[in-house]
A and B are shown apart, each in its own frame.
Chain A
Amino acid sequence: MRRKVIFGNKLLPYLLLAPQLIVTAIFFFWPAAEAIRYSFLRQDAFGISVMFVGLENFQDLFADDRYLQVVWNTIWFSFWVTVLSMGVALLLAVLADRHIRGRDTYRTLLIWPYAIAPAIAAVLYIFLFHPSLGLLGRALNGFGVPWDYRLNGDQAMLVVILAAAWKQVSYNFLFFLAGLQSIPKSVLEAAAIDGASPSRRFWTVIFPLLSPTTFFLLVINITSAVFDTFGIIDALTGGGPGNATQTMIYRAYVDGRVNLDLGSSAAQSVVLMIAVMALTLVQFRFIERRVHY
């Protein structure tokens, strides 16, 4: 899209763009290029010599069962966080959109968790699920369920999924609510006059009209489950037990920082870059299409 009326200055637009372009060049393009370069290199254990190894880092990565496990963890984790947080958010948004008393209060009470940091959400969940300190953790053990997410990998995955979904609900709630409010009331009234029951109205009128919002949230949620959850996993489980809750970001961090294997870590970054680009392109094409109709 291009506007007809524009200003004709020669130098000014470059001056206005300069700050963002400079910051982007130094802290975005340069490191991104370095990540790609490192992914083709291998350093010896002492960091003395570096050699070009072509695609070996990538080959090693996908030949490594532990990495495939990490990829699977990421998919499993993102899937459940997205399904849970979007499902709960949609239910709450539909209800909070009804004409009921205290509607605005409910909205405020459901929106504020948006402000909580992932790492802080993890701390809150420790006090719920810790086997000896947590309210629910203690209760479970009291009922004879052997609960200790620090030892049991499945339980650890469950806790990080719950914490991440909990944190994400209010964001989705906001967007679903906005989506619901932009549906013309006349459409809903017409459906009601035609005698459609509330649940029928939801599935045949509201839900299809919400699909752009739903799709947008789907992409955002997957991206945030993959990238924004480092804090939750680090604070709650540290990727453990074993590597039951390691996701791709976490693994890239561990390999780079702890194992000092920069080649492998860079290759993992490149894999993630390609994944985000694919997601973003899907989203962008979709949004562009939406703009046209």
Chain B
Amino acid sequence: MSQVQPAIAAPVPLAAEAPRRRRFLGADLTTHVILLLGVVLFALPIWIVLMGSTHDAATIGRGEVPLLPGSEGWNNYATAWSEGNTRRASVPVSTMMFNSAVMALLITVGKLAISITSAYAVAFFSFPGRMLCFWAIFITLMLPVEVRIFPTFQVVSDLGMVNTYQGLIIPLIASATATLLFRQFFLTIPDELVEAAKMDGAGPMRFFKDIVLPLSATNIAALFVILFVYGWNQYLWPLLVTTSTDVETIVIGIVKMLGAEADTEWNIVMATTVLALLPPVAVVILMQRWFVKGLTETEK
């Protein structure tokens, strides 16, 4: 086929082809211009902060918005990393990054673990109360933690979990999104596959480990991205449940640094902002292919 096509294309007079091609070129150009504008729209605020983080506090304080790199970058990042905001007693960024990483990873692993097993139970077993269990989990979709924030805080405080990683993490694990996605995916696994596995004498745990888990790799990867970003970006819940700076996360830390405006070290804030952006952005970019694939497949 591929050898035939050029032979057919060749006789078309070039003169007739030219205006059409030019029109397509024009449409392409518009496409590129608009897409580039979109990219700039997203990149501009980041660029400002990235450049700002390499200047000294005085330059930014005077309002001379730097659009090119300065010479203080190393100092700013080193100060932020090891001391944080120097004018007020504050937590070093390294501590806050560690707390955010612990929180994001444990929320991710915890949610994945409890939701893949519960989705497996609902999809592959028949037992009394099955639909009741499903609905009990499903209904949590409707009420994000923000809505029941004070009662949840009360419960966490009654359990003595304020200012602990457990208090920070476990309440955020209770949600149904991942369970629903896994259940939806499990329902697409053909009955024949289960039948064959049963005939080969595989029990439910064997089937889970050898068939279901490997098949779920894409979904797990996509959910890893979603949940990691969700965990890292939490704001309202940590704000309420962490009063001690030992467990302060970086998203909270930055907003606290803004505090009284006159006293703000803008260069440190900017460096901290860049550091806070890096891990979730890295996860999204590195796992982009799986992330998009996982979302596309669950959408269908």
Q: Which residues of A are in contact with B by a Cβ distance under 8 Å?
A: 1-10, 12-14, 16-17, 19-21, 23-24, 26-35, 38, 88, 91-92, 95-96, 98, 100, 102, 106, 108-128, 132-135, 138, 166, 169-170, 174-175, 177-179, 181-182, 198, 213, 223, 227-228, 230-231, 234-235, 249, 252-253, 256-257, 262, 265-266, 269, 272-273, 276-277, 280
In the complex, B200 has a CB within 8 A of chain A: no
In the complex, B147 has a CB within 8 A of chain A: yes
Known contacts A28-B143, A118-B235; can you find 19 more A-B pairs with CB under 8 A? A3-B124, A7-B203, A21-B136, A31-B152, A34-B151, A92-B35, A100-B31, A108-B285, A116-B281, A117-B276, A125-B45, A166-B41, A169-B42, A213-B299, A235-B258, A256-B149, A256-B150, A272-B147, A273-B148
Residue interface mask B153-188, A partner, CB < 8 A = 1: 011100100000000001101100001000000010
Cross-chain contact B32 with A100 (CB below 8 angstroms): yes
Residues of B within 8 A of A95 (CB): 31, 34-35
Cross-chain contact A35 with B204 (CB below 8 angstroms): no
Cross-chain contact A230 with B146 (CB below 8 angstroms): yes
Residues of A within 8 A of B213 (CB): none
In the complex, B292 has a CB within 8 A of chain A: yes
Interface residue stretch chosen among B8-16, B75-83, B90-98, B110-118: B110-118
Name the residue on A nearest B272 (C-beta).
A123
Cross-chain contact A91 with B150 (CB below 8 angstroms): no
Name the residue on B nearest A34 (C-beta).
B151
Residues of A within 8 A of B143 (CB): 28, 32, 273, 276-277
In the complex, B101 has a CB within 8 A of chain A: no
Cross-chain contact A31 with B288 (CB below 8 angstroms): no
Residues of B within 8 A of A8 (CB): 125-126
Q: Which residues of B are in contact with A by a Cβ distance under 8 Å?
A: 27-28, 31-32, 34-35, 38-39, 41-46, 48-49, 52, 60-61, 63, 65, 113-115, 117-118, 120-127, 130, 133, 136-137, 140-144, 146-152, 154-156, 159, 170-171, 173-174, 179, 187, 191, 194-195, 198, 203-205, 207, 229, 232-236, 239-240, 251-252, 254-255, 258, 266, 269-270, 273, 276-277, 280-281, 283-285, 288, 292, 295-296, 299-300
Cross-chain contact B133 with A17 (CB below 8 angstroms): yes
Cross-chain contact B284 with A120 (CB below 8 angstroms): no
Cross-chain contact B280 with A276 (CB below 8 angstroms): no
> Secondary structure at chain B's binding surface: helix, strand, loop or mixed?
helix
Name the residue on B nearest A126 (C-beta).
B258
Cross-chain contact B295 with A5 (CB below 8 angstroms): no
Given contacts A100-B28, A174-B295, A273-B143, contact A24 B137 (CB under 8 A): yes
Residues of A within 8 A of B236 (CB): 230-231, 249, 253
Cross-chain contact B127 with A106 (CB below 8 angstroms): no
Provide the bound-state CA to CA distance between A125 and B155, in Å. Answer: 35
Provide the bound-state CA to CA distance between A113 and B31, in Å. Answer: 21
* Candidates B38, B142, B149, B283; contact of A277 at CB < 8 Å: B142
Cross-chain contact B191 with A3 (CB below 8 angstroms): yes
Cross-chain contact B118 with A17 (CB below 8 angstroms): yes
Cross-chain contact A181 with B296 (CB below 8 angstroms): yes
Provide the bound-state CA to CA distance between A232 and B254, in Å. Answer: 12
* Candidates B39, B60, B276; contact of A109 at CB < 8 Å: B39
